[in-house]
Amino acid sequence: MRKLIWGIVEFREHELPQYAAHFRDLAGGQSPDTLFITCADSRVVPNLLVSTDPGELFTMRNVGNLVPPATADGLSTGDLSEASAIEYSVKVLKVANIVVCGHSGCGAMKAVLAPAPLDDAPNLAAWLAHARPAVSRLALETAPAAGLTLSDRLSQLNVLVQRDNLMTYPDVRTAIENGVLRLSAWWFDIAKGDMYAWQDDTHSFAVIDRPMAQRLTGGE
């Protein structure tokens, strides 16, 4: 806590001056471009990794970057928090993108694969059930993914499952059908510092370097 308290003072005295005008502008409201869904893991730092300023990312984080699917009526089958973030960002903020981002070394994915049940963490055990479909996809794979541990491969498949779960929300489906919303599945390799994007055409994750960025953005 000492580090956090003195971090506030550091921000006030050294960083705030360059952000002051920006924060004053933001005080009246936000207009983020993207809902960024990722794990609560301390090593995943969205604003740092995508070089965004305050006001640019609407972020929803939880253990394992999970999105419980919705019923046909659009109601969450899990925690209401995720569904609320989706509704608010899509219907009110009208974000143009939703990114689901997993990461290497994810404790949630390791827990899902662990043979012993999480008897001493019943809430966590119930929550991680939303990652079970990713385990089923992992079991269908005929060859191990090159250079990845089992839990890292599960983590990659998990972002695809959670991206699919987003499609169970009527608001998301409607926005996509109207061409005003795009879904992306990303995966962050902590040791390398590389971000990967799922490619629907090649059915693989590819690192987002300059050539890939040009491809993804049409050369912008």
- Give the range of 11-19, 27-35, 40-48, 122-130 binding Zn ion by CB under 5 A: 40-48
152 near Zn ion, rule: CB under 5 A: no
- Give the range of 38-46, 78-86, 114-122, 163-171 binding Zn ion by CB under 5 A: 38-46
The structure tokens 């699917």 sit at 69
200 dihedral zone (left: phi>0; alpha: psi -120 to 50; beta): alpha
111 near Zn ion, rule: CB under 5 A: no
Query: Least separation, in Å, of the C-beta of 81 and Zn ion?
Result: 17
Q: Is the C-alpha dihedral spanning 74, 182, 62, 138 positive or negative?
A: positive
41 near Zn ion, rule: CB under 5 A: yes
Specify the DSSP class assigned to residue 209.
-
Q: Nearer Cβ to Zn ion, position 34 or 155?
A: 155
39 near Zn ion, rule: CB under 5 A: yes
Residues 14-33 that bind Zn ion (CB under 5 A): none
Q: Nearer Cβ to Zn ion, position 131 or 175?
A: 131
Query: Least separation, in Å, of the C-beta of 108 and Zn ion?
Result: 5
Give the number of C-alpha atoms closer than 13 A to the C-alpha of residue 98, restricted to the C-beta side: 33
Q: Which two tokens stand for residue 40?
A: 């609560």
Residue 35's Cβ-count burial label (10 Å; 0-12, 13-18, 19+) is: buried
Query: Least separation, in Å, of the C-beta of 3 and Zn ion?
Result: 22
Single out the residue of 90, 106, 160, 197 in contact with Zn ion (rule: CB under 5 A). 106
Nearest to 195 by CA among 210, 211, 177, 209: 209
Query: Least separation, in Å, of the C-beta of 74 and Zn ion?
Result: 27
Nearest to 15 by CA among 54, 72, 68: 54
- Which residues lie near Zn ion (CB under 5 A)? 39, 41, 106, 108
